[in-house]
Amino acid sequence: MKNSTFPAMQTEENNWIGELFIDLLNDVYYSEKAFAKIIPRLINNTNSEELADNLKEYLEISRKQDGRIKAIFTLIEETPVTKRCERVANLITEAEEILKNAEPGALLDSAIVLIGQKMVDYEIESYRTLCSLSKTLDESEVTTLLEKNLKEKTQGKESLLILVETIMNTELPQEVYW
């Protein structure tokens, strides 16, 4: 990274900002890839067609976002590193446990929505932080790409919130509630 043209890497006092940005960008790069691997399994285990369609749309958007992340790496002249992010790995493990232990139906659909919300929450907070850092670094083109991803993730979360209410209010048997 010492030969980077990324502005934060050019001066010693700002070096840590660039390091933080690149580290978090690599985490998001990993998360987009890791979540893209588990989402098809979630889709295959849903009972709700609406949830399956929502997850398919999310997957397609994530692929576009992955492309933007690669474009950001190109802009800052860095090579993406797919390094394991423990928080993301834990979310994937949680999703796998849900799929392994839950019976198909509305309860599983609700659990899938909830794990989806956790995944989106992680990415939203990561993108918010990346946007702030890129603004600090005066990287307007990078900021624009990140803001597109953030906007799409936020819209995806809203869609999941509406969906979970629909599942909880119409598909779950009333005896589930305490």
Enclosing domain of residue 98: 8-171
The listed range with the strongest mean pLDDT (7-16, 86-95, 161-170) is 86-95
134 versus 7: the higher-pLDDT residue is 134
Q: What percent of the chain has pLDDT over 90?
A: 59
CA 113 → CA 56, 80, 163, distances in Å?
A: 13, 29, 8
Residue 77 lies in a domain: yes
CA neighbor of 115 nearest in space, from 127, 104, 99: 99
Residue 143 lies in a domain: yes
pTM of the model: 0.85
Using the predicted structure, report yes or no on whether residue 1 has a pLDDT greater than 80. no
Q: What is the mean pLDDT of residues 153-158?
A: 87
Residue 1 lies in a domain: no
**Axis-axis angle for helices 140-166, 106-136 (nearest 10):** 160
Residue 104 lies in a domain: yes
Q: What is the CATH number of the domain that holds 105?
A: 1.20.1260.10
pLDDT tier for residue 167 given thresholds of 50, 70 and 90? confident
CA neighbor of 72 nearest in space, from 127, 33, 14: 127
pLDDT tier for residue 80 given thresholds of 50, 70 and 90? very high
Residue 2 lies in a domain: no
Residue 44 lies in a domain: yes
CA neighbor of 85 nearest in space, from 35, 150, 43, 130: 35
Using the predicted structure, report yes or no on whether residue 12 has a pLDDT greater than 50. yes
Using the predicted structure, report yes or no on whether residue 5 has a pLDDT greater than 60. no
pLDDT tier for residue 110 given thresholds of 50, 70 and 90? confident
Q: Where are the alpha helices (DSSP H) in the chain?
A: 15-44, 49-75, 86-101, 106-136, 140-166
Q: What is the mean pLDDT of residues 70-76?
A: 96
What is the number of domains present in the chain?
1
Predicted local confidence at residue 74, as pLDDT: 96
44-61 tens-digit pLDDT: 999 889 899 999 999 999
